[in-house]
Structure 1
């Protein structure tokens, strides 16, 4: 293709067949550029979605940690309440 373009640059008259070829090449380049631009746009959207997903995961991990700590406190309190109730029952039985 490069050789053909270089040969055409040297011509003073460009045959119709060569003009058609040049137009086809220009149209192909325009289509390729459109595809490249669309791919770039899709890549930017994907990167944005990925970053948002990372933020969501961090947020969920924080929530999970807080829920786990709250549940551990509830379990500790329940165990204490059970122990107190057992001690009271044991005191009533004796």
Structure 2
């Protein structure tokens, strides 16, 4: 392709078929550029979605940890309440 372009640069008159080839090459270059730009845009969207998913996972992990701690406190309090109730029942039975 480079050789053909160099040969065309040297010509003072460019035949119609060569002009058609040049136009075709220019159109292909434009299409390729559009495809590359679309791929870059899609890549940026994917990266953004991935980063957002990472943030969501971190947030959910933090929520899970807080819920687990709260549930452990509730279980501890319930166990204490059961022990107190059992002691009271034992005291009433005696």
Counterparts of 1:43-54 in structure 2, within 5 Å, are 43-54=43-54
Superposition CA RMSD, Å: 1.0
- For normalisation by structure 1, the TM-score amounts to 0.93
Moved over 2 A (4+): none
Structure 2 stretches lacking a partner, 5+ long: none
TM-score by length of 2: 0.93
**C-alpha separation between the residues in 1 aligned to 2:12 and 2:31?**
29
Q: Which has the higher contact order (CA 8 A, sep 6+)?
A: 2
1:50-83 Cα deviation digits (max 9, x unpaired) = 1111111111111111111000000000000011
Structure-2 residue corresponding to 1:2: 2
Any gaps of 5 or more consecutive residues in structure 1? none
* Paired positions, count: 94
Range with greater deviation from structure 2 (26-35 or 1-10) = 1-10
